[in-house]
Amino acid sequence: MAALADLVRGFAALLKPAEDNDVKLTEWIVTARAAALPHLHSFTNGLELDRPAVDAGLTLPYHNGCTEGVNTRTKRIMRQMHGRAGFDLLRHRILLP
């Protein structure tokens, strides 16, 4: 469990975008594969499958967090209102600050 906790902390440190995170990710993957944690091996394989996108996410300061937040909020409001009133009320609730 201690090895898993260390690996999770190491990966969490990579989530703050920095230019050298792609190199650090490679080192982290090597360390994670050396550990006897099969589920973590599966995770590292998934990272390797889409490595260019993972590298971009860990090195570039750009993200679409605001857009995803608006989408999540809209979906939540739609679920709360399912079957009630109509489009006018839905539009009103979405446009409220």
Tens-digit pLDDT profile for residues 6-20: 999 999 999 999 999
Confidence at residue 97, expressed as pLDDT on a 0 to 100 scale: 64
Q: Which residues contact 56 (CB under 8 A, 6 or more apart)?
A: none
Q: Note the pTM of the prediction, 2 decimals.
A: 0.68
Confidence at residue 48, expressed as pLDDT on a 0 to 100 scale: 94
Q: Output the six-digit token pair for 82.
A: 């399912």
Q: Count Cβ atoms below 10 Å from residue 52 Cβ, excluding itself.
A: 8
* Nearest residue to 93 (alpha-carbon basis) of 83, 68, 64, 85: 85
| Confidence band of 27 (pLDDT split at 50, 70, 90) | very high
Q: Count Cβ atoms below 10 Å from residue 25 Cβ, excluding itself.
A: 21
- Model confidence over 56-92: pLDDT tens digits? 999 998 888 889 998 999 899 888 888 777 888 888 8
Confidence at residue 85, expressed as pLDDT on a 0 to 100 scale: 75
Sign of the CA dihedral running 20, 26, 30, 31: positive
Mean pLDDT of the chain: 90
